[in-house]
Amino acid sequence: MAEPAAPSFGTRAAAAIAEHGPLCVGIDAHPSLLEAWGLPQTPAGLLRFSIGVVEALEGRVAAIKPQVAWYEAYGSSGMGVLEQTLEACRQAGILSIADAKRGDIGSTMQAYARTWLAEESSLRADAVTLSPYLGAGALEPAFELAEATGRGTFVLALTSNPEGASVQHRGAPESVAAAVAEAVSQRNSGALSASEQVMPGEDSNYDRFVTGPHGLVVGATTGEAIAQVGVDLAGLDGLVLAPGYGAQGATAQDLGAMFAQVRGRVLVNSSRGILAVGPEPQALQGAVSAAQAELSPELSAA
């Protein structure tokens, strides 16, 4: 008899959200944060910063999202630090999301997919962020590899930066963002294997965690734009990654209203709002606990 397929990233992430809460902490190694932590703006400082976050938050958050650009800024040494950070997440049992925002065509997209999603890659993460603006269909290599390896993707759909509206809102209510969301929803509809519908073991709550591996990035400050541009979250059957909580202005109540259709499947990212209280582990843990206390009542599955 064939071995049952491993749970998809979406299923694992939904279970992690149920256990730890909806908070995802971004490792945004901005120079001002390194300075505030008393660290040099060097690969060594970047390593201490990154590993300090992972060690402080083990067992406390569903996911950690390293911002790849700040590692790339230090060249090959910085990418080596990213490798160590992703390995630290694996050892700590924390889901990792590489915030790389990759998107290309053909063999180049295949190379990006292998970098972030292949089992043999030293930069493999549990999921990677993708840009669909060369066409959502061009992301097929990443979708396929994520499904084959039990990993996931988060596709930029509706971002909160002001510049994004000129492209993403175009054609509302049948907008570009709505078309991206629909493409991801369709991909999820065929991604979940039949074996995932059968509970492996004795956890009677397993079925409510079954979730597709492909999610959307929807900014936490986009508010009513979700409905105005026609993005259908109810039909997604996947996760939402929502940056913009806290320091960027979105409140837990805002998020509860925006994401009522996907409760239990939202990862709310906070970077500077958490990291600014460091470097002491107790301070980071306190900030995480306070954020979870605000977010969980608004976003936990009913």
User: If you compute the radius of gyration of the chain from its CA atoms, what whole number of angstroms results?
Assistant: 18
How far, in Å, CA of 130 to CA of 100, rounded? 7
Q: Is 267 helix (H, G, I), strand (E, B) or coil?
A: strand
- 174 is written with which tokens? 């049948």
Calpha distance 152→198 (Å, rounded): 21
**Farthest-apart Cα atoms in the chain, separation:** 56
Q: Is 65 a catalytic residue?
A: no
Residue count of the chain? 302
3-state secondary structure of 268: strand
Q: How many CB atoms lie within 10 A of CB 137?
A: 11
Is the CB of residue 235 less than 8 Å from the CB of residue 262? Answer: no
Q: Tokens in use for 154?
A: 């988060």
Residue 271 contacts residue 245 (beta carbons within 8 Å): no
Phi/psi at 150 (nearest 5 deg)?
75, 25
Tokens of 131: 């840009």
CA 257 to CA 277: how far, in whole Å? Answer: 28
- For residue 241, the cross-strand partners are 217, 267
- DSSP H or E stretch at residue 127: strand 127-130
Q: Say which of 30, 90, 101, 263 is annotated catalytic.
A: 101
Active site members? 101
